[in-house]
Amino acid sequence: MAKNHVFVGGRYNLRSPVKRGSSWRFKYTDTRTGEEGGFTIAISSKVKAKKAAMQKLEEMASSQGRIVPVKFCEAFEKFLEVIKEKPTRGRKMSLRTFETYQDYYDRMFKHAFGHLFVSDLTYGKVEDWMNRHIAQSKKRRECGPTTMSKYITVFRRFCKWAKLRNYLDHDPTEGIELSQSNKVGVALTEEEVAKLLRVAMEPNVLSVKSKSAKRSDWKQEYVGRDHVFRYLLVAIYTGLRPGNIYDLTWAKHVNLEEKKITIEAPHMKSRKSKHVLPIHPVLLSHMHEWIRVKGVRPNSPVIGKKVRTSIKTSFGSVRKAAGLKVRPYDLRHTFATHLAGKCTVFCLQDLLHHSLKGVGAGLGLGMNAVTFGYVHPEWEEKVDAIHSLPDYLSLSCEEDVELKSSNSC
């Protein structure tokens, strides 16, 4: 706090006044919301004017302590408007994160708490909603510990925002412990990657058993995994995070002539610098084929389908058919593992676009993050690293040939 500033009512920071004729102009800052305001005291004496200003702010602080009755839906929609425009910790919320907040509100929070006033929210009501949601989702396995932690994190942020605006006098999520996921990342072998790609390329077979004796069972083949195959190919040859792959569009991110993928800084996790990646020859040839066969619009997704949150369902059917326990994010682990030893650690860090915070110390290189950040791999080095990855599709073809020869024997 500045030397001539006064903290009033446990909330307001009152600045030194400015003389305006026979009056004094005061400005203040609300330390809870960050909002600024001002008023004029028509008293010529500075001491008396300052005393009157402090009394006014004391009254404002006491009145602000009263709970403002606001409907939950009205408050949450206002919360979404604020977080969309106002930067948090110096950076603006990404569009995908905002869409996730909006999706949670539309699918769950609105139906669970839409009939309440914000001031009616209690720990018990939030806990009851959690238990009901987990029970309803248990059969479909839609809500694990990590997913529920994401819901509570968003809801807790809303409660904190509402408390600052006197919609709440307490935090109903206080005491709710966030569950930690026990999942550990894995890296697939080259053979497992080939198997996953081979299964994704195969058409789905829909089998229907007839309940009637007069009608026979029937099967139908249909292609419904094209977007999963595209996702797998992009992920294994770029190492991008799932959210970045979902958002890839042809006109904005892919340059086939220069053979590179570019993602601007606001869409990366660190949001500090843009990410430029070389395109592997195998991925490049398939991208040309996707454009030739189906054609694309400038803003159409590279994987061929707009993904709202994730591809867990369709991805799950592929991994089960391949007999593998793997998550979409594990392909990023696989990318890094297959590149390890084929390029320098500085090049690998650049290709993964990892934050420099503590990365030097974590690698035991005897240098801090600042020194590590001064190393910039050349483009040719990154191209050579990406090109060192094998042609996984040819491996899958070789496996098919070996399988057929063994069956014929």
* Cα–Cα separations (whole angstroms), residue 315 to 76, 218, 228, 230, 324: 33, 25, 6, 11, 11
Kindly list the strands in the beta sheet with 260-263, ordered across the sheet, starting from the edge strand earlier in the chain: 254-255, 260-263, 275-278
Q: What was the pLDDT predicted at 404?
A: 45
Do the beta carbons of residue 287 and residue 301 sit within 8 Å? no
* Cα–Cα separations (whole angstroms), residue 223 to 196, 220, 245, 319: 16, 10, 21, 16
Q: What was the pLDDT predicted at 58?
A: 84
CA dist 374 and 378 (Å) reads 13
Q: What was the pLDDT predicted at 401?
A: 44
Q: What was the pLDDT predicted at 259?
A: 95
Give tens-digit pLDDT for 71-108.
Answer: 999 999 999 998 887 765 556 677 778 888 998 999 88
Give tens-digit pLDDT for 129-159.
Answer: 888 887 776 555 556 677 788 889 999 999 9
199 CB neighbour count, 10 Å cutoff: 21
Would strands 23-30 and 36-41 be described as parallel, antiparallel, or unpaired?
antiparallel
Domain 190-342+388-408 classified CATH 1.10.3470? no
Mean pLDDT, the chain, integer = 82
Angle at 205 between CA 202 and CA 210, to 5 degrees: 175
CA dist 185 and 190 (Å) reads 16
Give the bridge partners for 262, in sequence order.
276
- Four-CA torsion 184, 103, 88, 143, nearest 10 degrees: -30
Q: Locate tokens 């935090």: which residue? A: 171
Do the beta carbons of residue 388 and residue 342 sit within 8 Å? yes
Collapsing DSSP states into helix, strand and coil, what is residue 310?
coil
Low-confidence ranges of the chain (pLDDT < 70): 1-3, 33, 63-65, 87-92, 137-144, 179-183, 204-224, 308-309, 356-372, 396-409
377 CB neighbour count, 10 Å cutoff: 16
Q: What was the pLDDT predicted at 206?
A: 58
* Cα–Cα separations (whole angstroms), residue 74 to 32, 129, 162: 21, 20, 11
pTM over 0.95? The answer is no
